[in-house]
Amino acid sequence: MRNLIKSVRALEILDSRGYPTVRVFIGLENGRVLAASVPSGASTGMHEAVELRDGDMARYRGKGVLKAVAHVNERIAPSLIGMDPTSQADIDGLLRALDGTPTKANLGANAVLGVSMAVARAGAEVTGLPLHMYLAGPTSARLPVPMMNIINGGRHADNTLDFQEFMVMPVGAPTFAEALRYGTETFHALKQMLKAKGYSTAVGDEGGFAPTFKSNEEACELIVDAIQAAGYRPGRDVAIALDPAATSFFDGFRYDLSKSGSGVKTSAEMTALYQQWIERYPIVSIEDGLAETDWDGFRAQTAALGSRLQIVGDDIYVTNPQFLTRGIRERTTNAALIKLNQIGTVTETIEAVALCRQEGWNFVVSHRSGETEDPFLADFAVAMGGGQIKTGSACRSERIAKYNRLLEIEAELGTAARFENPLVPR
């Protein structure tokens, strides 16, 4: 029996924050049905692909996605029936043509991406390969080092931290399974320390703790203590990665750190602050340390600090080859964050990764704050082979689903599995 696309349909489901998102089902002529669910971000770049919401305040406070679902069922589905699901680039090109806008604003990036991801799953089904091998070929074998968000602040938590994510990276682990153990044990050591100090151990959107700290620095100090309490060496076994998400506290001229009582700073002063921090703490990566419009500041920051650590651009690039090309030309950063729903199709995301590879940049495959139990991202990270993944803390099942899938992939690969830290331990 042929394995062409027989049906395409979408459903409104809920993400990890209790907001609607889109799940797409692709039915094949052999009777198999494959599905994919679309994540949603809270801290979003101004140039991201557009997530279509209904705006009907009588349903889900305006955040319903029935319009996006209807676009899949009524506008996209008829064009895909009878197509070969292994023709990913052709189908993604058709989706872009059907939408007709650079940001997927017509059909909605949540509609388009849901179809694109489900088609990739269907293609893997047809070829009989795991998704990661289908996307990258049989040599796909590199497991990523996890960036585990264990303290939340900024827009991800209602506390006194200006910076959005304080993460641990198990840079000294020999395998992914051991890396996950290092990070999880550090997470639990931190929980015990927070309890001992009388701090809340409630968690934020991505599973990290979100108590009221005395300062941004206290978060780093407690992480260092937690690494040691878990029996690891800070900087050698487990390091720190930051995502300040600086756009969220930038007013167009200055960076306002008054949430933590740290005052207002210029771009140069922010870079000086980070320089002080990397002298005090084992920090190996800083993502979005400046705002998405601060191209000059990013260039200066990369020139000053880029030889010592990874400077990651997220909001400034939004996984868009156009902005990545500029960043590469101007040496704006030395690494990029990669998010499927920032650009809207699997093919375009792979194109963004290809640009990073060509330049020799590091790249980090990333989740969103609004996630689902779909582990697509885990296979995608292995397929891209960049050696880094952001998918949240060591709790919340929508995050753990990705980690558990990576454990499965490593076990399935056996001795072929590779685990190589792309960053220099400090």
What is the set of active-site residues?
206, 339
CB 23 within 8 A of CB 2: no
Q: Which two tokens stand for residue 113?
A: 């991406």
Q: Which of 261, 283, 310, 142 is nearest to 301 (CA)?
A: 310
Q: Is 243 annotated to bind ligand?
A: yes
Task: Tell me the C-alpha distance between 149 and 166, whole Å.
Answer: 6
Q: Is 368 annotated to bind ligand?
A: yes
Q: Is 314 annotated to bind ligand?
A: yes
Using alpha carbons only, give the angle 203, 292, 366 rounded to the nearest 5 degrees.
Answer: 45
Residue 246 makes CB contacts below 8 A (sequence gap 6+) with 255, 270, 288, 289, 290, 291, 294
Q: Please spell the DSSP secondary structure of 117-179, one letter per residue.
A: HHHHHHHHHHHT--HHHHHH-TT--EEPEEEEEEEE-GGGSSSS-SSSEEEEE-TT-SSHHHH
Task: Tell me the C-alpha distance between 182 and 166, whole Å.
Answer: 16
- What size, in residues, is the chain? 426
Q: Is 256 annotated to bind ligand?
A: no
Q: Is 287 annotated to bind ligand?
A: yes
**H/E segment holding residue 240:** strand 239-243
Task: Tell me the C-alpha distance between 353 and 364, whole Å.
Answer: 9
Q: Is 48 annotated to bind ligand?
A: no
Which DSSP category does 320 fall into? -
What residues form the annotated binding site for Mg(2+)? 243, 287, 314
What residues form the annotated binding site? 164, 243, 287, 314, 339, 368-369, 390
What residues form the annotated binding site for (2R)-2-phosphoglycerate? 164, 339, 368-369, 390
